[in-house]
Structure 1
Amino acid sequence: MARTHGKPILISSFGKAVVLCLALFAAWRLCSTLFADAPPRPLVRDASCLPLAREVGVRAAAGTGSNFVVSPLSIHAAFAMVTAGAWGDTRRELLRFLGSASLHELHHAPANELVGRLNGLPQTSFACDVSVDRRLALRREFMATRASRYGATAEAVDFVSGAEQVRLRVNAFVADATKQLIRDILPPGSIDSSTTVVLANALYFKGAWSYPFDVLTAPFHVPGGTTVGVPAMTTGRSQYIALYPGFRALKLPYKNDVLRQADAFYMLILLPDSGTLSLADLYDKAVSTPEFIRKHTPVEEVPVGQFMVPKFKFRFEFEASSDMQKLGVTRAFKGGDFSGMVGGKDGHGHGRLSISRVYHKAAIEVDEQGTVAAAVTVIRMDGSAFEKKEPPHLVDFVADRPFLFAMVEVMWSILWLVNWIST
């Protein structure tokens, strides 16, 4: 199976209409130039997870160079739910990370507006879950937000004597919500008696192409001069293609049998011209210009000559707590004020909570029939007032070169964006 490599980005809203992508800019083996030492970009509204994605991408490129994909929407939803239970400086830091000035603005941000629609769309599903220590009670206001805005389930659990059962419960929730595409988001030992709250978000997409493709084996030119044969999609049918200086764009609509608007979801592929524009340059254009995706989405079908887009399948996972602290979210990890989330059974406080771990896993499969993608974010929070025990010890077009692509929902914001380089 060909392995691919991706780097996510998140594009901001444009006016009242927002491009929301189930998005993967992909690449066949990540080039380190994509994460070159460029100056940090200012935070863009609705692009709240781009800095985090970049931090993770830099680390991936500097390490094993493993395939990389992330869902900004899943991360955004999980932290939006956490922010609803935060107060003071802790809330202000989290709001800044999420690109909102207030909790009211966050609740009405395009990404949060989309959350309320996903379960009503035939191609998608969205689920949230909260596990809270049975010695505590979720605050009434937080309970209302959890239920009304995120449809999150909640369950009182025993972290002291049943930590492993809680871990298995969360993993089962994730597997069920992603149709078994993502399993075991929480590794053994990740939950213990010091855990107080675990919040989980799961996002799933399955879309069929408006017109399925034929399949062939085609050459793909890997950076460095190597050429490999890859399974690819092809067709003689007219396609939405547009030519721009230095690159060309391909729009691949997903079938839409329910929604009234045409092409509610589509994949956008951006292919640099050989020797004219590098993938890194094209990536920078997409990151730095909020309206880039909208402005470079083809609107007319044209006859095609040669046509080839590789099939691909890959997944990636990471723990993001250190990356988030580098980005300025520190109070939430060091005795943050989450008094708006939980209290003791008697209504009084129990001590301060801190985020201790942020787990994220994403997966995508693209073939001649369509696309299946899933992403999960799980946030573990610990309480300072409970006795902490040590965790148990555990035994061990012709897209024949790198290109970018995005899966887009025309009216809203971005779920995934990835970039792709290698086999």
Structure 2
Amino acid sequence: MATGASRYGATAESVDFVFGAEQARRRVNAFVADATKQLIPEILPRGSVDSDTVVVLANAVYFKGAWSQPFDVFTAPFHIPGGSTVGVPSMKTDQSQYIALYHGFRALKLPYKNDVQQQAAFYMLILLPDSDTLSLADLYDKAVSMPEFVKKHTSARKVPVGQFMVPKFKFTFEFEASSDMQKLGVTRAFNTGNFSGMVSGGDELSITGVYHKATIEVDELGTVTAAATAIVFGTTSVGPRALMDFVADRPFLFAVVEERTSTVLFLGHVVNPQLG
């Protein structure tokens, strides 16, 4: 507990899962709601915690940042899979931006305002695949599987812009990850896992549920986003200096990144900005 508190700002609480499982579930949800400023009011659904539960690990992150340069807004076409086109509120500017061209895609770095020099600096990275040479899925695979991919594909200099459009978007996503994790080969933790290095009696525990939820809103002023995860344990049962376009009028990948370490806080993609 002391190590978690000193290194990660973590807290630990003792609860009664046998006679107070529902109260314990509500306590975890209250922690997440408070940490995300009510953007995620519930991470553990009813029934996820019961008398067989022994430990719940939960974390939450909240981020709010204003663009270093606010944008104007106009309605622009966005091409969604299947050939349809929808008109969406979008951001535009004629000011120089951090744009770079790579094989099969282009990247846009949008810095957030940082008025306190001692604080960490953040930016949003938008990766826009070319329609004919690289799919969104292929670009996603590169971003999550290649070390330092984000850092290596973040532009370090501004270029004058020609056409520029990035849609506003807002959505919430949630899922239970146990099945997907086991398909990826993480199976022992869900059966006869050994967590004795984490808690006493941990050699008799297994994961009974992995719950994740994220929400994000991006508009002309900046970004507000939050995410939370709860794990339930139970007993075993580069381009030229010419005008450069960046028109995100088709599905794209985005990430919120810490500047110094290139740590990715949030990673997602937009297929249709109208679907919240």
Question: TM-score, structure 1 length as denominator?
Answer: 0.58
Q: Offset at 1:410?
A: 2.2
What is the one-letter code of the residue matched to 2:259? Answer: V
Q: Name which of structure 1's ranges 163-172 and 268-277 shifts more when overlaid on structure 2.
A: 268-277
Does 2:211 match 1:359?
yes
Q: Any conservation in 2 of the 1:351–1:383 contact (CA below 8 Å)?
A: no
Give the residue type in structure 2 aligned to 1:294: K
Deviations, residues 251-275 of structure 1 (Å, cap 9, x unaligned): 11100111358x8211111223343
Counterpart AA for 2:264? I
Q: 1:420: how far off? A: 2.3
| Matching residue of 2:84 | 226
Distance 1:307 1:350, change over 3 A: closer
Q: Do the aligned residues in 2 keep the contact of 1:241 with 1:248 (CA within 8 Å)?
A: yes
Contact 2:125–2:257 under 8 Å retained in 1: yes
Question: Aligned letter for 2:229?
Answer: T
Measured in 2, the distance between the counterparts of 1:146 and 1:250 equals 36
Other-structure match for 2:271 = 421
2:229 alignment counterpart: 377
**Is 2:59 aligned against 1:201?**
yes
Q: How many residues align?
A: 264
The amino acid across from 2:249 in the alignment is D
Deviation of residue 324 (structure 1)?
Answer: 2.2
Matches within 5 A, 1:135-284: 143-260=1-118, 264-284=121-141
Relative to structure 1, the CA distance from residue 326 to residue 246 in structure 2 (aligned partners, 3 Å threshold; closer, same or farther) is closer
- Aligned 8 A contact 1:221 1:401 in 2: yes
Q: Where in structure 1 are there 5+ consecutive unaligned residues?
A: 1-142, 344-348, 389-396
Q: 1:406 aligns with which of 246, 255, 258?
A: 255
- Corresponding residue for residue 338 of structure 1: 195
Residues of 2 paired with 1:300 and 1:281: CA distance? 26
Q: Give the AA of the match of 1:331.
A: R
Within the alignment, does 1:317 sit opposite 2:174 as a pair? yes
What is the deviation of 1:331? 2.8
| DSSP-derived class of the 2:78 partner | strand
Q: Offset at 1:146? A: 2.2
- Say which SS state the counterpart of residue 264 (structure 2) adopts: coil
Equivalent pairs: percent with the same residue?
Answer: 75
Q: SS state of the match for residue 318, structure 1?
A: strand
Q: Kindly tell me: are residues 279 and 155 of structure 1, through their superposed partners in 2, closer, same or farther at Cα, counting changes over 3 Å? A: closer
1:226: how far off?
0.8
Q: Distance in 2 between matches of 1:295 and 1:160?
A: 50
Query: 2:243 — aligned with what?
Result: none
Structure having the higher helix fraction is: 1
Matches within 5 A, 1:32-181: 143-181=1-39
The 1:300–1:172 alpha-carbon spacing in structure 2 relative to 1, beyond 3 Å, is same
CA deviation after TM superposition for structure 1 residue 175, in Å: 0.3
Flag the structure with higher strand content.
Answer: 2
Give, in whole Å, the separation in 1 of the partners of 2:130 and 2:198: 51
Q: Label 1:288 to 1:188 Cα distance change in 2 as closer, same or farther (>3 A).
A: closer
CA contact (8 A) 2:97 2:161 kept: yes
Q: Deviations over 1:220-279 (max 9, x none)?
A: 111221110101111121211222333322111100111358x82111112233434433
Structure 1 letter corresponding to 2:258: E
**Which segments of structure 1 move beyond 6 Å, counting only runs of 4 or more?**
none
Determine the structure 2 residue equivalent to 1:70. none
**Does structure 2 retain, via aligned residues, the 8 Å contact 1:315–1:364?**
yes
